[in-house]
Chain A
Amino acid sequence: QKEVEQDPGPLSVPEGAIVSLNCTYSNSAFQYFMWYRQYSRKGPELLMYTYSSGNKEDGRFTAQVDKSSKYISLFIRDSQPSDSATYLCAMKLSRDDKIIFGKGTRLHILP
């Protein structure tokens, strides 16, 4: 079983829809969870960062961690064409540990 699993997509949704992106993981010791956004021909950029379980909201973005199910989600409200990108989940065991990335989900927001 891979450490971090993420559906590669592509996921196509109409503009204005709520988008749900998900990752599952196998190591219950992960404590830090991140979402990166990567536009075509660009490097990844950190979008959301959460520690342990719970929700974190930042504008149209909400990150959710369910440690009991080993499942993390990123929700995008009122999706825009500019949200079209690849979204990578990432996690690590401790603050000083290396980051394990998911393979990314390609998202297309249709105008």
Chain B
Amino acid sequence: EAQVTQNPRYLITVTGKKLTVTCSQNMNHEYMSWYRQDPGLGLRQIYYSMNVEVTDKGDVPEGYKVSRKEKRNFPLILESPSPNQTSLYFCASSPGGGNADTQYFGPGTRLTVL
């Protein structure tokens, strides 16, 4: 089944404790992206990657890191999480270069930073 998977789905952590949210897609898509979704603010892009070893900042990259060492994986790293990073995070992938027609979203990771 074609899908985007994220782990963990739920995470409660404390300020300053480094964490990684994994994202994997099995559709051989070139483009992958991370979003956060907050009430009243909608979906905002954090980082995106147009291919292996190519990443770029989205609208809200502060406090986040990403890497794209393999085509299928695009982990999101929070080196020192803070409470304002409490949010619902989505990974997405799409075929072709850039923001191609169809983005497939993962199921989401709900992160709480205490």
Contact = CB atoms under 8 A, between A and B. Distances in A.
Interface of A: 8, 41-46, 49, 88, 92, 95-99, 101-104
A42 B42 contact: no
Given A45-B105, A46-B102, A96 B42 contact: no
Interface of B: 4, 40-45, 48, 58, 90, 92, 97-108
Contacts of B105: 43-45
A98 B58 CA distance: 9
Contacts of A102: 42
Given A88-B43, A104-B42, A43 B99 contact: no
Contact of B106 (A41, A43, A92, A104): A43
Given A49-B101, A92-B99, A43 B45 contact: no
A99 B40 contact: no
29 contacts: A41-B108, A42-B108, A43-B90, A43-B92, A43-B105, A43-B106, A43-B108, A44-B103, A44-B105, A46-B101, A46-B102, A49-B102, A88-B42, A88-B43, A92-B99, A95-B99, A95-B100, A95-B101, A96-B97, A96-B98, A96-B99, A97-B98, A98-B48, A98-B58, A98-B99, A99-B103, A101-B42, A102-B42, A103-B40
B93 to A, nearest CB: 11
Contacts of B4: 43
A46 B94 CA distance: 11
B44 to A, nearest CB: 8
Given A43-B106, A43-B108, A44-B90, A98 B101 contact: no
Contacts of A49: 101-102
B23 to A, nearest CB: 11
Given A42-B108, A96-B97, A104-B42, 17 more contacts: A41-B107, A42-B107, A43-B4, A43-B105, A43-B106, A43-B107, A43-B108, A44-B105, A45-B104, A88-B43, A95-B98, A98-B99, A99-B103, A101-B43, A102-B42, A103-B41, A103-B42
